[in-house]
Amino acid sequence: MQFDAVGFIFNSLVLLFFTMTLGNLFGDIKFRKFNFGITGTLFIGLFVGYFLTKYAVTIPEGSKHISKAQNILKGNIIDNSIMNLSLLIFIVGTGLLAAKDMKYAITKFGKQFVMIAIFIPFVGAVASYGFSQIFSKMSPYQITGTYTGALTSSAGLAAATESSEAESRQLANEFQDLSEGTKTKILAIINNAKERDAKLKNEAIPEKMTLENTTTLSAEDTEIYVTEAKAGVGVGHSIGYPFGVLFLILGINFIPKIFRFDVEKEKEKYFAQKKIDLSNDKDAGKNTIKEVKMDFVGFSIAAFLGYFLGSIKIAMGPLGTFSLGSIGGAIIVALILGFIGKIGPVTFRMDSIVLGKMRTYFLSIFLAGTGLNYGFRVVEAVTGDGIMIAVVSALVAILSVLFGFLLGHYVFHINWTLLSGAITGGMTSAPGLGAAIDALDCDEPAVSYGATQPLATLCMVIFSIIIHKLPI
């Protein structure tokens, strides 16, 4: 009998279930009155992912496991298809659960949700661009890349990548007409790239380009600069994403403690007011649809239509194209179908316990996978050269969450039960929504998430493009 220990350790499903087991056990540990809950899987995933990557480096070239080890080193520990599926199932289940309360929440706070959906991405954009100007010696593209990462927006990343390519190429072509400060930043990016590549190939480091010896950029230097600009956005996003998730989750859990209000009392106040408002609503309680334990046809239809809606690209002229993405499409479709309740023999109102358990389990898969895939980058960023990118990512996330909370709580007076979901929607973060639902132990945050996330996604795309049209 033989047992391939290395193959077993490198198996993505083994790693996933191991991380979920430890993560859920860790999440149940009480730190006084606080526990991490389902987000414990994210923190354990970061820990396991880091040490797994350190081990993968030791696998020799001739080993039969070298291909898997190389995937691990690239951060491809858990396949994207598993990650996308788990997040889609989580968001569809969440939307179907929250749909019956959608009319009340949007009627009461619809305009406020619109303002929050615009304001949070705006704060993040201003913060990330501001930091790119403050830290002038760092790559401005890496810093602005933290914007889409800290606000966990893949749609924003796509727009930022496309915009950075076009704008960096234009800057390179107009090099001779630029200010000395802008030229210095461009040359620093090219020089750093050439030095890095020379060291990697054990070649002599080429002479540095300076303002004195460089009047225009060659075609080769232009391509280096454009490539580094696009790559910089990706690096900033990759480092920023896990920090955005981390600090949003921490914010959802610690904002009530920092600003000294009781979550349970907020919930009691919300549901009491809701009961009064609904009692005065003549249409409330009409056309009540009976729930079923589970309708897999209904669930699958919601997932399919949500994915379809998210795939549609809308042309926005000079701003390129915009799409909701699978998560934006899924939350909208699930809320609509859940609100309708039933179409022919297909039911979209399902047992809250069944949907709740299903949703939580698949969120656990996503968070564990996120931790495993990003674990090494996060630890290296905190302990190595990426520390400032990590700090900027954290600050962008913190400022976005904080100002979103201040606007919603002190200006609009939205109850935390809904405001927590509106903030996660403004951050376009499904993992953050999971943390809000887990922390409040109710589904109400999903309604406000669904009300803010689509518009916030559109704002992320627009602001990502604008950022790269501003001076670097």
Could you write out the three-class secondary structure of 60-73? CCCCCCHHHHHHHH
DSSP letter string, 187-234: HHHHHHHHHHHHHHTT-PPPPPP-TTT-SS--HHHHHHHHHHHHHHHH
149-161: average pLDDT: 77
Q: pLDDT band for position 465 (50/70/90)?
A: confident
- Going by C-beta distance under 8 Å and a sequence separation of 6 or more, which residues neighbour residue 129? 144, 147, 467, 470
Among residues 272, 269, 271, the alpha carbon closest in space to that of 261 is found at: 269
Predicted confidence at residue 140, as pLDDT, reads 86
CA distance 309 to 342: 20
pLDDT at 285 over 70: no
pLDDT at 318 over 70: no
More confident residue, 133 or 75: 133
Predicted confidence at residue 464, as pLDDT, reads 85
Predicted confidence at residue 268, as pLDDT, reads 92
Predicted confidence at residue 155, as pLDDT, reads 67
Among residues 370, 382, 355, the alpha carbon closest in space to that of 41 is found at: 370
Q: What is the mean pLDDT of the chain?
A: 85
User: What value does the CA radius of gyration of the chain take, rounded to a whole number of Å?
Assistant: 24
- pLDDT by residue (tens digit) across 170-204? 899 989 888 888 898 899 889 888 887 777 567 78
How does strand 342-343 pair with strand 321-322? unpaired
Q: Which two tokens stand for residue 422?
A: 């509106």
Whose tokens are 């669930």? That residue is 299
The amino acid at residue 127 is: A
Among residues 386, 458, 384, 365, the alpha carbon closest in space to that of 77 is found at: 365
Predicted confidence at residue 1, as pLDDT, reads 64
Is 389 within 8 Å of 239 (Cβ atoms)?
yes
CA distance 291 to 298: 12
Return the minimum-mean-pLDDT range out of 19-23, 436-440, 457-461: 457-461
Quote the Cα angle for 80-447-145, to 5°: 45
Is 436 within 8 Å of 263 (Cβ atoms)?
no
Sign of CA dihedral 365, 332, 113, 108: negative
Percent of the chain with pLDDT over 70: 93
Predicted confidence at residue 13, as pLDDT, reads 93
116-123: average pLDDT: 95
Q: Report the first-to-last Cα separation within the chain, whole angstroms.
A: 62
The amino acid at residue 126 is: V
- pLDDT by residue (tens digit) across 211-265? 888 888 988 899 888 888 887 787 788 788 888 888 998 899 899 999 998 999 9
CA distance 116 to 313: 24
354-371: average pLDDT: 87
pLDDT at 92 over 80: yes
Is 146 within 8 Å of 392 (Cβ atoms)?
yes
| CA 337 to each of CA 92, 93, 109, 150, 302: distance values in angstroms, whole numbers, following the listed order | 10, 11, 21, 31, 7
Predicted confidence at residue 259, as pLDDT, reads 93
430-445: average pLDDT: 86
Q: pLDDT band for position 320 (50/70/90)?
A: low
CA distance 113 to 423: 9
String of b and e for 186-207 (b: at least 16 CB within 10 Å)? bbbbbbebbeeeeeeeeeeeee
- pLDDT by residue (tens digit) across 372-415? 887 876 776 666 667 888 889 999 999 999 999 999 999 999 99
Sign of CA dihedral 289, 290, 294, 297: negative
Whose tokens are 């390519």? That residue is 165
In sequence order, the β-bridge partners of residue 12 are none
Predicted confidence at residue 30, as pLDDT, reads 77
CA distance 428 to 461: 12
Predicted confidence at residue 204, as pLDDT, reads 83
Q: pLDDT band for position 207 (50/70/90)?
A: confident
Specify whether the backbone of 320 is left (phi greater than 0), alpha (psi in -120 to 50) or beta.
Answer: left
Q: Which two tokens stand for residue 404?
A: 């979103």
CA distance 83 to 90: 11
Whose tokens are 């079923």? That residue is 292
Is 170 within 8 Å of 217 (Cβ atoms)?
no
24-50: average pLDDT: 81
Q: Which two tokens stand for residue 407?
A: 């606007």
Sign of CA dihedral 235, 20, 58, 381: positive
Among residues 235, 163, 228, the alpha carbon closest in space to that of 197 is found at: 228
